[in-house]
Amino acid sequence: MGTMGLVAISSHITVPNMMDVKYNPWEAFDVLGQVAALRYGVGVGANSPIKTLEELIATGKQRLVTYGSNNVTNVVAMFQLAKLTGARFRWVVFSGGVESVAQAVGGHVDAVIQTVAEMRPQIEGGKLRLLAAAGPERWPDYPNIKTLRENGYEATTNGPFGYAFPAGVESSIRQRMEAALADVMADKGVQTQIANLGIVPVYRNGADYKAFLKKLEGELVPVLHETGMAKKRT
């Protein structure tokens, strides 16, 4: 039996494109499947004069709008939204997601794009206003808040993660584990446990998950270069 571990955007896209690594992400793993995805949202402080997504965009057409986040994975939707609308958004990088939210609550940045776990306490406390869900689906906690896509903008931040073996694990073991993962993910109890963590239970088999990560590479690598975070090409 080989060692099994989590694989995500960081293992396959951001880290290999930001620094030299000793592995080829597309050849180093036998991917077993995706199990979940993070939920993202765009919010502003409750005291902000910006009340809606359209007002955020309109403000960005009048002046530079700053927004906080701690990870390049999170901000894809904001880069896409800027390109689609012509609004000027500037990403301000913070060391943690909670800090990013706090900076928006305090009015030090105009907005924030983070995950449910970091945003929900401030939303429930009345200190943060959720303008839009930034993932593929609405948040179950706030079903009346539309996604960016539902607002008419083809902008989405994805945060998938799943499991993989190191490449070369015996095929019978890999197939057995991939089948077991599919069975587990079909269990309603498992789905509920994942959802209770504030993340989305999402299953893709190994081939489909690897293909999905490859698609996301095309969205993320341009952001890395635009922000100067990508390693220099040789």
Main-chain dihedrals φ then ψ at residue 180, nearest 5 degrees? -65, -40
Per the listing, tokens 């928006």 go with 104
Contact indicator for 98, 119 with CB cutoff of 8 Å: no
- DSSP string of 123-178? HHTTSEEEEEE-SSS--TTSTTSPBTTTTT-------EEEEEEETT--HHHHHHHH
* 3 found inside a domain: no
The token pair that represents 13 in the structure block: 């896209």
116 with 174, same domain: the answer is no
Number of domains the chain is built from: 2
215 with 171, same domain: the answer is yes
The token pair that represents 177 in the structure block: 């584990």
Domain carrying residue 193: 30-36+159-224
Condensed to tens digits (0 to 9), the pLDDT of residues 122-139 reads 999 999 999 999 999 999
Main-chain dihedrals φ then ψ at residue 200, nearest 5 degrees? -100, 125
d(CA 94, CA 68): 7
d(CA 106, CA 95): 16
Condensed to tens digits (0 to 9), the pLDDT of residues 48-72 reads 999 999 999 999 999 999 999 999 9
**Cα torsion 133, 135, 140, 144: sign:** positive
Q: Is 93 helix (H, G, I), strand (E, B) or coil?
A: strand
d(CA 227, CA 234): 18
* 20 found inside a domain: no
pLDDT at 197: 85
Q: What is the CATH number of the domain that holds 54?
A: 3.40.190.10
The pTM (predicted TM-score) of the whole model is 0.89
* 17 found inside a domain: no
In sequence order, what are the beta bridge partners of 132? 42
- DSSP string of 28-43? SEEEEEEEEEE-EEEE
122 with 58, same domain: the answer is yes
* 23 found inside a domain: no
pLDDT for 11 beyond 70: yes
pLDDT at 3: 84
pLDDT for 2 beyond 70: no
In sequence order, what are the beta bridge partners of 89? 65
44 with 106, same domain: the answer is yes
- Chain mean pLDDT for the chain: 94
